[in-house]
Every structure is written in structure tokens, then in C-alpha cells.
Structure 1
Amino acid sequence: MRPGRILHPELAKALATCGHTDIVLVTDAGFPIPKDANRIDLGYYAGQADVLDILKMLRQEIFVEQVAFAAEVKTHHPALYQELQKIYTGAGATFKKTTHEDLVENIAPMAKVVIRSGSLNAWANFALTCSTDPFAWFTEEDITILPAYVERRKRIAQNEIPML
């Protein structure tokens, strides 16, 4: 066993294949997952594994530059929105509003990995855009750092709370 690491072999392998700009889609129990998707099913009972537990675990495992979700989360499920803010505070990630239809029709087919939870939490579908460690790149003095990395480093250093 690997202490402090993902035990699920398919999930560990799938995350290890992700690179910058790849999408990891974390869904509730009822999300319509495309038939050809690289599906990692963690839902084993209604409510378990919960989408928030999965997002907390992923926060420790991968760098994320953007979290896209239906704009209704903020207004229709404020407790979920606040939990998302807690999870991604200081991560350097930004929040992006989208629609449920866009998640289903456009984002899901492009996702490198789709992780289905057992969550019955309303509006709980999140597209995580993978990133790189913003402090590991552009370390040489004679290389100009890209503005996106400057911004992410700043958000992390300031322990910024992401907002829609």
C-alpha cells in the first residue's frame, strides 16, 4: 500500500496520464457519461463516494488551473459553492461558469478522465482543467515567465479564494 496516495489503481493510472490542459470531469451519480469515456466509477452506494470527498482528494493529487461548473451552483446550491471555495482556496485555480448542457454535450466528450461519484448532491458536476506546478517552471533567470504563471503564483501566494 502507498500511504497518503490513491489506492484505486485505475484512478492513479488515469491521473498519471494527465498533462497541462487535460480535463478531469468529476460527476454526480446521474451524469450521462459518454460511452467511450475513460470512466473511473467511484460511486458504490447512493451518496458514496461523495463528490466533495473526491474533489478534496484530487486537490492533493493534481494541479488544477480552472474549475468549470454550472453557474447555478452559486445561486441554487450556495453550500456546495462555499465548499468548492474552501477546497480551492490557495490552489491558484480560477472558477469558470458554464451550463449543465455544455458539461454534457461539449466538455464530457473531451474529458481525458471522467470520475463518477455516488453523489446525489444537486449541481455537483465539475470540469477540472489540469495544470503544471507553477513554481517548477520558468526557474532560470534568463527565461521570461509567462503571465499566466505569474498570476497563478500570485493567487497561491495570496491564498486567494476563487470566485465566479
Structure 2
Amino acid sequence: MKRTTLLHAELSRVIAGMGHGDLLVIGDAGLPIPAGPLRIDLAVMRGVPRFADVLQAVLSELQVERAVIAQEACTPDGAGMPPWCHPLQPLVPEAVPHAQFKELCLSAKAMVRTGECTPYMNVLLYAGVAF
């Protein structure tokens, strides 16, 4: 059995195979998943697993260079990041319109569907290098 945080075999395999600049999407239960990327469906029921828990597990194994979220997830003035972005620090996610966010998903290696039912709780994670 693995000793690290992430135990999901398929998700762990995807992360191990990612190269610099490759894209992994973690999404809420409602984010549409296009035909191209691999679908890793973790959703069991509303709220299970939570987006925050999946993000934490992924960040324990993936070197992230850049992150993108939907502008609609930000505070009403568009300046403040939602609290669920804190695990990404020191990275500050780029915020783009939700329509553009969905277009960016087309180039993902994989999209992870959580049981999260909070609108716009989705993130694009671009792999970095650990050296």
C-alpha cells in the first residue's frame, strides 16, 4: 500500500505521467467533461468527496506551476480569491470567465469530478517541474 496521501490508483497514475505544462482539472459535480480528456469520476453523492479534500490530496503529489479558476468564483468585486484557493499558496490563480475556463478544459490530460456541489468550485492545475 502507498505511504503518501493520494491512494487513488488511476489519479496517481495520471499525475505520475504528467509533464511540464500538462493540465489536470479538478471540478465540482456539475462541471461538464468534454470527450477528449480522461474522466476520473470520484463523485459518490452530493458533497462526497469534497473538492477541498481532493485538491489537498492532488497537491501532495503534483508540482503545480500555474492555476486557473473561473472569475465567477471570486468575490463580487472580482479582486478576492475564494477561500478554497488557500491550499494553492504561494500561487495566486489566474481568474478567467467561466466560458473560457471550460474551453481550457479541452486540453486537459484528465478531469477529476468530485461530489462538490458549490458552483464554480473548479481549478485548472498546470504541472511544473520539481527541479
TM-score over 0.5 (shorter chain): yes
Cα deviation code 1:73-126 (max 9, x no counterpart): 1215x9971231x20224xx331111111122x211100111110100121111
Q: In the superposition, relative to structure 1, how do residues 46 and 80 fare at CA in structure 2: closer, same or farther (>3 Å)? A: farther
Alignment CA distance shift 1:49-1:126 (3 Å): same
Report deviation, 1:9.
1.2
**Structure 2 residue aligned with 1:118:** 115
Of residues 112-121 and 5-14 in structure 1, the stretch that sits farther from structure 2 once superposed is: 5-14
- Paired AA for residue 120 in structure 2: W
One-letter amino acid of the structure 2 residue matched with residue 122 of structure 1? P
Contact in 1 for aligned 2:6/2:60 (Cα 8 Å):
no
Query: Which of 101, 113, 117 matches 1:103?
Result: 101
Partner of 1:82: 83
| 1:129 corresponding residue in structure 2 | 126
Deviation at 1:2, TM superposition (A): 1.0
In the alignment, residue 45 of structure 2 is paired with which amino acid?
A: Y
Question: Which structure 1 segments of 5+ residues have no match?
Answer: 137-164
Q: Which residue of 2 aligns with 1:15?
A: 15
Identity %, equivalent residues: 27
Larger radius of gyration between Structure 1 and Structure 2: 1
Q: Which has the higher contact order (CA 8 A, sep 6+)?
A: 2
Q: Determine helix, strand or coil for the equivalent of 1:97.
A: strand
Does the 8 Å contact 2:67/2:124 carry over to 1?
yes
Report whether the alignment pairs 1:38 with 2:38. yes
- RMSD between aligned residues: 2.0
TM, length-normalised to structure 2: 0.89
In the comparison of the two structures, how many residue pairs are matched?
130
Give the number of the structure whose residues are more often helix, by fraction: 1
Letter in 2 for 1:114: M
Query: Normalised by the size of structure 1, how large is the TM-score?
Result: 0.72
Code of the aligned partner of 2:57: M
Query: 2:5–2:60: 8 Å Cα contact kept in structure 1?
Result: no
SS at 1:13 equivalent: helix
Q: Alpha-carbon deviation of 1:11?
A: 0.8
| Separation in 2, partners of 1:79, 1:68 | 14
Q: Is the 8 A contact 1:65 1:94 kept in 2?
A: no
